[in-house]
């Protein structure tokens, strides 16, 4: 795992996007197609804006994009929907991209999980973007996380820290409005990606970042598993890196 402390949030976004562009183009050059995973939340907004800039000249019609998680029961037109987030901030600016959403409001959730699993079983994953939650969750893999799950996606009960985070970030008006369950890509599935780019800015993430980077690999700190990935790069700003001894 490599840790990069950017000058500020703008620099972090640009550098994380630039590496992503390089890796996507490399995968297309080598395989004719790139398969990527995208995260959501306020931490990813600036990076996604940079990633889809036309000047990068990414052939998006040769890219398939999966996303990490979604609230159970949330429709794709709900203001807090992660599908809506990615449709507006990524898909609309990436002409021709194939987007594989998590339909967490599907009538048959077992069938939806099977659909996603079958699709991923046939897919080489070139790049996974992710963030770090305030409780150190990775995607919606809450502590204690399952580092050995054999499934690609699972249903999870959301930790109250994660639910409060959604309110603080402005996605919901109050805690009662935040769903208690979600569908998430599992950690073993994320770790199958050839490259992981973790984008984790903001002072409120500093404690989680400290555990993820400086502490032992521990299911109570799910993002600490990134330490074991040979090609993981974690981008921080000075605020999120504030509790690290190297900061």
Q: At 225, is the pLDDT very low, low, confident or very high (cuts 50, 70, 90)?
A: very high
Q: Which domain holds residue 212?
A: 2-236
Longest C-alpha distance within the chain, in Å? 49
Report the pLDDT value the prediction gives residue 83, as an integer from 0 to 100. Answer: 96
Residue 189: inside a domain, yes or no? yes
Domain membership of residue 61 (yes or no) is yes
Residue 199: CATH number of its domain: 3.40.50.1360
- Mean pLDDT, rounded, of the chain: 95
* 245 found inside a domain: no
For residue range 144-172, list pLDDT tens digits in order.
999 999 999 999 999 999 999 999 999 99
| Within a domain: 241 | no
Q: How confident is the model at residue 214 (pLDDT cuts 50, 70, 90)?
A: very high
Query: What single-letter DSSP state applies at residue 138?
Result: B
- Count structural domains, the chain: 1
pLDDT digits (tens, 9 = 90+) for 54-70: 999 999 999 999 999 99
Which percentage of the chain shows pLDDT scores above 90? 96
Question: In the chain, what is the straight-line distance between the N-terminal and C-terminal CA atoms, in Å?
Answer: 16
Within a domain: residue 164? Answer: yes
- In whole angstroms, give the CA distance from residue 44 to residue 65: 15
Torsion, Cα 112 75 184 80, to 10 degrees, reads 170
Residue 246 forms part of a structural domain: no
Asked whether residue 92 is assigned to any structural domain, the reply reads yes
Query: In the prediction, which pLDDT does 247 show?
Result: 45
Q: What is the pTM of this model?
A: 0.95
pLDDT recorded at residue 246: 59
Q: Which residues are catalytic?
A: 69, 135, 137, 142
Tell me if residue 113 falls in helix, strand or coil.
Answer: helix
Per-residue pLDDT for 99 more than 50?
Answer: yes
Q: Per the structure block, which two tokens stand in for 121? A: 């079983």
> Is residue 143 in some structural domain?
yes
Structural tokens at position 109: 């959730």
């Amino acid at each position: 795992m490599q840790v990069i402390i950017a000058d500020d949030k703008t620099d972090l976004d640009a550098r994380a996007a630039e590496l992503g562009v390089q890796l996507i183009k490399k995968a297309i050059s080598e395989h004719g197609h790139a398969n990527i995973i995208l995260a959501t939340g306020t931490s990813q907004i600036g990076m996604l804006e940079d990633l889809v800039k036309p000047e990068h000249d990414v052939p998006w019609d040769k890219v398939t994009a999966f996303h990490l998680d979604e609230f159970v029961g949330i429709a794709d037109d709900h203001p807090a929907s992660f599908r809506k987030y990615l449709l507006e901030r990524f898909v609309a600016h990436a002409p021709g991209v194939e987007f594989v959403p998590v339909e967490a409001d599907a009538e048959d959730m077992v069938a939806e999980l099977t659909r996603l699993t079958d699709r991923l079983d046939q897919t080489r994953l070139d790049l996974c973007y992710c963030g770090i939650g305030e409780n150190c969750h990775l995607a919606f893999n809450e502590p204690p996380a399952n580092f050995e799950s054999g499934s690609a996606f699972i249903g999870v009960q959301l930790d109250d820290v994660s639910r409060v985070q959604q309110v603080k970030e402005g996605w919901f008006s109050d805690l009662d409005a935040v769903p208690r369950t979600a569908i998430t890509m599992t950690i073993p599935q994320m770790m199958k990606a050839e490259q992981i780019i973790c984008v984790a800015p903001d002072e409120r993430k500093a404690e989680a970042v400290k555990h993820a980077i400086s502490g032992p690999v521990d299911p109570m700190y799910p993002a600490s598993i990134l330490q074991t990935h040979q090609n993981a790069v974690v981008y921080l700003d000075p605020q999120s890196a504030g509790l690290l001894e190297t900061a």
